[in-house]
């Protein structure tokens, strides 16, 4: 079972979504206020979050940013807002998917399954697992939080997963094919630039101006340098 946190103030919609998803592989917790979402998230550590934007107490965009600041959990925004600016803003705040209301429950289920396949593949996290530490980089596997020089770093699910793939193979060159197979279960077709784009975002977030932390090995792939994270 996946644990899902649904942040939604429409009681009828929340009940409909919960009843439908509960009959599949999801256990749903419903939170009706934005200002209660972060505390509940910290207490329960769900596998995925479905988040409305128009919430009492605190706007959904702020909630999205709060959660992303402490975790790389997949976040799907489900909202009646249809402004393209809101969609772009939501994705920039760290959301992984954006769905407009009204949505058929079976469509939402399909989007959630696709999101989890793409990002988590159902995490198998040992609560006693050691943290990943390289110099000033500190990653907690238990709750998927990332700190750089004692400051939290906001990563979306793809960024977090790629960082962990690289860190767990520190000192070893990984090809784009190696990375894509581990991240998404597909092979590199020679055209997919998603890995390169995600690497670029990681470098910006970790002040890797000279590409010394995550090195490009021309013709081969990428190398996580364990000694460069001071």
What's the DSSP call for residue 99? E
Is residue 185's pLDDT more than 80? no
- What confidence score (pLDDT) does residue 130 get? 65
Question: Terminus-to-terminus CA distance in the chain, angstroms?
Answer: 39
- What confidence score (pLDDT) does residue 119 get? 62
Percent of the chain at pLDDT > 70 equals: 93
- In this prediction, residues 154-178 reach a mean pLDDT of 88
Q: Given the structure tokens 């207490």, which residue do they identify?
A: 43
Cα dihedral 28, 21, 47, 11 sign: negative
The answer for 116, left when phi > 0, alpha when psi is -120 to 50, beta otherwise, is alpha
Percent of the chain at pLDDT > 90 equals: 41
Two tokens, residue 50: 């479905």
Give pLDDT tens digits for 72-118: 788 999 988 766 676 777 777 778 888 888 888 889 999 899 888 77
Give pLDDT tens digits for 116-135: 877 654 333 334 456 888 88
pLDDT band at 10 (very low <50, low <70, confident <90, very high): very high
Asked if 24 and 43 touch (Cβ cutoff 8 Å), the reply is no
Round to whole Å and give the CA distance between 81 and 135.
43
- CA dist list (Å): 177 to 7, 160, 188, 191, 197: 37, 18, 5, 11, 15
**Among 164, 211, 156, which Cα is nearest to 183's?**
164
- What confidence score (pLDDT) does residue 33 get? 96
Q: Which of 51-60, 85-94, 177-186 has the lowest mean pLDDT?
A: 85-94
- In this prediction, residues 22-39 reach a mean pLDDT of 94
Round to whole Å and give the CA distance between 216 and 221.
6
Q: Which residue segments constitute the domains of the chain, with CATH numbers given?
A: 2-119 (3.40.50.2300), 132-224 (1.10.10.10)
Q: What is the mean pLDDT of the chain?
A: 85
Is residue 204's pLDDT more than 80? yes
Is residue 186's pLDDT more than 50? yes
Asked if 14 and 4 touch (Cβ cutoff 8 Å), the reply is no
- Of 70 and 25, the structure prediction assigns the larger pLDDT to 25
Strands (E), 14-74: 26-31, 48-51
């Amino acid at each position: 079972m996946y644990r899902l946190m649904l942040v939604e103030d429409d009681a009828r919609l929340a009940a409909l979504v919960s009843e439908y998803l509960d009959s599949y592989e999801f256990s749903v917790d419903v939170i009706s206020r934005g200002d209660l979402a972060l505390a509940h998230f910290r207490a329960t550590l769900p596998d995925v979050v479905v988040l409305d934007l128009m919430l009492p107490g605190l706007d959904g965009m702020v909630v999205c940013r709060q959660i992303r600041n402490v975790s790389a959990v997949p976040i799907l925004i489900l909202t009646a807002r249809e402004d393209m600016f809101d969609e772009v803003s939501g994705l920039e705040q760290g959301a992984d998917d954006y769905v407009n209301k009204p949505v058929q429950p079976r469509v939402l289920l399909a989007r959630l399954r696709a999101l989890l396949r793409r990002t988590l593949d159902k995490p198998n996290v040992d609560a006693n697992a050691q943290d990943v530490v390289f110099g000033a980089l500190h990653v907690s596997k238990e709750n998927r939080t990332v700190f750089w020089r004692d400051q939290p770093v906001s990563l979306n699910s793809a960024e977090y997963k790629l960082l962990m793939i690289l860190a767990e193979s520190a000192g070893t060159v990984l090809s784009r094919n190696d990375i894509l197979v581990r991240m998404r279960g597909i092979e590199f077709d020679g055209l997919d630039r998603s890995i390169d784009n995600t690497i670029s975002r990681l470098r910006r977030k970790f002040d890797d101006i000279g590409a010394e932390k995550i090195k490009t090995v021309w013709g081969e792939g990428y190398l996580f340098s364990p000694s460069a994270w001071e």
